[in-house]
Chain A
Amino acid sequence: AQSVAQPEDQVNVAEGNPLTVKCTYSVSGNPYLFWYVQYPNRGLQFLLKYITGDNLVKGSYGFEAEFNKSQTSFHLKKPSALVSDSALYFCAVRESSSASKIIFGSGTRLSIRP
């Protein structure tokens, strides 16, 4: 069975510093991996995805994520955090099989202090 874990409930970073939000996954086949962001009282917004190809994926708002197959990780990163990045971040995974459904992680609250 597939699963996804976000080990940190909350990440606190000072504005201008690099940030990392961690995600690990477990699938039996090849993974499709996603990051979504949720601002207060809003729906989830797609940030980026890994399907195949280059392990470093670039997405919206300056975010990027690195697919690491050996560590089964897909950590979200940004070189310089902004206060406006403060939000709830969800990692999601599905297997490449067309019958597989997507599973969301439990979410990590990112707080950027000025």
Chain B
Amino acid sequence: DTAVSQTPKYLVTQMGNDKSIKCEQNLGHDTMYWYKQDSKKFLKIMFSYNNKELIINETVPNRFSPKSPDKAHLNLHINSLELGDSAVYFCASSQDRWVTQYFGPGTRLTVL
């Protein structure tokens, strides 16, 4: 059973388009996260939700909008994609805030 899953695994799109990445966890965790990993492998937190409530928004452009329909899902919608948005996006979850996190396999976004 996959603990944290993301779709799609790869996403190639043109500048200016709008795209979404979906994340689901079947661990029963209360907290979910979105991270961005750049080409130098640096990992940066973007958002965190706890029981569907946004608790962290790390100065991410408002073109990025997370949505949590329930505590098992945290989706990421990106409007007006830019070249600099190209990265690998990881979803993660944890039982409590900021303790051991379980990561999804990542979504590699390429903006052309």
Contact = CB atoms under 8 A, between A and B. Distances in A.
Interface stretch (B63-71, B74-82, B99-107): B99-107
A46 B101 contact: yes
Given A42-B106, A45-B103, 14 more contacts: A32-B98, A32-B99, A34-B100, A36-B103, A43-B106, A46-B101, A49-B99, A49-B100, A88-B41, A100-B98, A104-B42, A106-B40, A106-B42, A107-B41
A22 B50 CA distance: 32
B102 A46 contact: yes
Interface of B: 4, 40-45, 48, 56, 90, 92, 97-106
Given A98-B97, A101-B98, A102-B98, A44 B90 contact: yes
Contacts of B41: 38, 88, 106-107
A90 B43 contact: yes
Contacts of B44: 104
A94 B98 contact: yes
A104 B58 CA distance: 14
Contacts of A94: 98
Nearest to A94: B98
A44 B103 contact: yes
Interface in A25-45: 32, 34, 36, 38, 41-45
29 contacts: A32-B99, A36-B103, A38-B41, A41-B106, A42-B105, A42-B106, A43-B92, A43-B103, A43-B104, A43-B106, A44-B43, A44-B90, A44-B101, A44-B103, A45-B103, A46-B101, A46-B102, A49-B99, A49-B100, A101-B45, A101-B98, A102-B98, A102-B101, A104-B43, A104-B44, A106-B40, A106-B42, A107-B41, A107-B43
B95 to A, nearest CB: 12
B75 to A, nearest CB: 17
Nearest to B100: A46
Contacts of B99: 32, 49
Contacts of B98: 32, 94, 100-102
